[in-house]
Structure 1
Amino acid sequence: MTKIGVHSFVWSAGSSREALDAVLTRSHELGFDLVEFSYIDPKQVEVSWLAGRLRELNLGVAISMGLPPEGDVSSEDPAVVTNGEAILDAAVALTRDLGGTKLAGILSSSHGKQEQAVTKRGWDTSVAAVSRAANRAKQAGVTLNLEIVNRFESNMLNTAAQGLAFIEATGASNVLLHLDTFHMNIEEADVGLAIRHAGDKIGYVHIGESHRGYLGTGSIDFPKIFDALVAIGWDDVVTFESFSSAIVDRDLSLKTAIWRDLWSDNVALAEHARRFITLGMETARLKADLVRQAHLPSS
């Protein structure tokens, strides 16, 4: 059965105990199965407390992040690559200590618009760094889920096919794809076909609308996406991600160009998203069942 997650920035961009507890409580009250946190600094958060609250509320957790320029593992500067690996290792440790198994996001390069295409050297450097990080993450029981994002947020992995080639090059069984419908809607020739082609190499899924607001109010063909997820037998987490200038994390808001209020009532937004995803997946399963039924005439 598909689990439904929610990004913490639907509720709050704060990292105080009060803010984090409100994120968990709201998510639990509205029936979500998992909360995704953008990377939080263990020096500013009592990780053991947060892990305990997640267990108390029976909530799963995922961590997402984008590498900063000073931690770009595709850099030609070895010191920057080394720093990037240290950042990945710290994020893996946080994921493990919170009781999670999925580290997701832009893990193969820095997050942000680049001024030139990635070079073969940069690609190879990133593959080697991610492979080493994945080997260490495997010991922690954590998968590295490489987010496929649009051209304005990375010059490395913009399509699922590029991600599959990267994964194959690492040779690591715990490096998987993190697919996001917002980004796929920009870059993929056919989002449904891309999902079917990626198949069992998908480790994490973000559901987001073309304008980052209410699901179903933009241009994305969600029935095709739900059909594809059912076709590949997806029974893991589908996490709702939405941003509005109503809830601002300065760094992420600038990098993802969040300039307007696409919603102000986050409870209504989240309730709608959970219903939308649940009904979408259920409808896709019913359609698949009808396709499989032979309906032979009785004698």
Structure 2
Amino acid sequence: MAQRFGIHAGVWGFDWTPAAADRAIGAAAAAGYDLIEIPAIDRSIQDARDTARALQAHGIDASVSLALTFDDDISDADAARRERGERRLTEAMHFASDIGATFVGGVVFSAMGRYDRLPTVEARERSLEVLRRVAAIGERTGVTLGVEYVNRYESNLLNTAAQTARFVDDIGASNVVVHLDTFHAAMEERSLTEAVEAAGHRLGYLHASESHRGILGTGTIDWTRLLSDLADARFDGPITVESFSPVVIGDESSIDIGLWHPHWSDPDALAADSLAFLRSRLAETVPA
């Protein structure tokens, strides 16, 4: 099977009005990507049919992602927060189904933010309990749930592939996979090779993000080695480019993710160059 490549819609910004959605989806398709990763919308405010129409018009597939906050943290002891988180996750699964996407990933297990307390067994169990119900919704609608571990400053619960693999096993659903992001893994793992090995057969989705979240190939990640490791592991999920610029996403979103320095300013050029870079590195690892 040929490798499928995706790109995060945030490359063109986080606005998702019908016009902005059509612009991002069209740009991703024009650059040659197989799919675009779309942040989950609030379906009580926005109509998912606008997104579905744009995807069909431009002939490109989609995946969906989200990150929980401290206000809807499903690992929290407060039942109201857990309920809000479960509602967001459930809505994301339905949004994916509405637009024909078969994957929902991201920070779905806890808040994305720096915790002021140590992780607990109880918090982990609360998260597992909710995600088992969310995964069951996905099983009925044909949607896979990806658990994306993040660095120590953005969660206290899952920070490595090994932790996440055990967590996925404990959910106990066939439609739950490890979602590996190279930016976070480069911070937390001894090597990306070990991360891929630890995830093993559970690895289902990969964010291709440079060590500084900038242009691929300008940081410290050895992309040729990583792609070789993925081939050895028989990874057949999408490789999705995730790179953001404060010039594009604006001050509020930049502050949310701690993105202080612009590495690029032209989203269309970033999209085209990233895909060409990954294809060239893939060609170095796979015999013609």
* 2:149 match: 148
Contact 2:204 2:235 in 1 (8 A): no
Q: Which amino acid aligns with 2:191?
A: D
Paired with 1:30 and 1:64, the residues of 2 have a C-alpha distance of: 21
Deviation, structure 1 residue 249 = 5.3
Aligned length: 287
SS state of the match for residue 248, structure 2? Answer: coil
SS state of the match for residue 56, structure 1? Answer: helix
* 1:65 match: 66
Paired with 1:249 and 1:131, the residues of 2 have a C-alpha distance of: 35
Contact 1:200 1:232 in 2 (8 A): yes
Q: Which runs of 4+ in 1 moved over 3 A?
A: 249-252
* 2:204 match: 203
Contact 2:43 2:91 in 1 (8 A): no
Identity of aligned pairs, percent?
Answer: 34
SS state of the match for residue 124, structure 1? Answer: helix
Q: Which amino acid aligns with 1:126?
A: S
* 1:16 match: 17
* 1:33 match: 34
Listed one character per residue, the Cα deviations across residues 168-194 of structure 1 (whole Å, up to 9, x for unaligned) are 111111111110111100001111122
Cα pair distance change 1:175/1:250, threshold 3 Å: farther
Paired with 1:222 and 1:275, the residues of 2 have a C-alpha distance of: 13
SS state of the match for residue 65, structure 1? Answer: strand
TM-score (norm 2): 0.95
Paired with 2:261 and 2:41, the residues of 1 have a C-alpha distance of: 25
Cα pair distance change 1:61/1:250, threshold 3 Å: farther
* 1:297 match: none
* 1:110 match: 111
* 1:255 match: 256
TM-score (norm 1): 0.92
* 2:223 match: 222
Listed one character per residue, the Cα deviations across residues 197-219 of structure 1 (whole Å, up to 9, x for unaligned) are 31220121100111111111111
Q: Which amino acid aligns with 2:33?
A: F
Deviation, structure 1 residue 253 = 2.2
Deviation, structure 1 residue 49 = 2.5
1:1-299 alignment, distance < 5 Å: 1-248=2-249, 252-286=253-287
Listed one character per residue, the Cα deviations across residues 34-72 of structure 1 (whole Å, up to 9, x for unaligned) are 111122222343211311221232211111111121211
Contact 1:34 1:59 in 2 (8 A): yes
Cα pair distance change 1:276/1:236, threshold 3 Å: same
Paired with 1:204 and 1:211, the residues of 2 have a C-alpha distance of: 20
* Alignment root-mean-square deviation, CA: 1.4
Listed one character per residue, the Cα deviations across residues 101-158 of structure 1 (whole Å, up to 9, x for unaligned) are 1101000001111112211110111111111211122111111101011011111110
Paired with 1:177 and 1:251, the residues of 2 have a C-alpha distance of: 29
Q: Which has the higher mean CA deviation after the structures are superposed, 249-258 or 46-55?
A: 249-258
SS state of the match for residue 126, structure 2? Answer: helix
Q: Which amino acid aligns with 1:43?
A: S
SS state of the match for residue 280, structure 2? Answer: helix
Gaps of 5+ in 1: 290-299
Deviation, structure 1 residue 251 = 5.1
Listed one character per residue, the Cα deviations across residues 64-99 of structure 1 (whole Å, up to 9, x for unaligned) are 111121211111112221221111100100011010
SS state of the match for residue 247, structure 1? Answer: helix
Gaps of 5+ in 2: none
Larger Rg: 1
Paired with 1:106 and 1:133, the residues of 2 have a C-alpha distance of: 14
Paired with 1:141 and 1:49, the residues of 2 have a C-alpha distance of: 21
SS state of the match for residue 13, structure 2? Answer: coil
Paired with 2:250 and 2:92, the residues of 1 have a C-alpha distance of: 19
Q: Which amino acid aligns with 2:68?
A: L
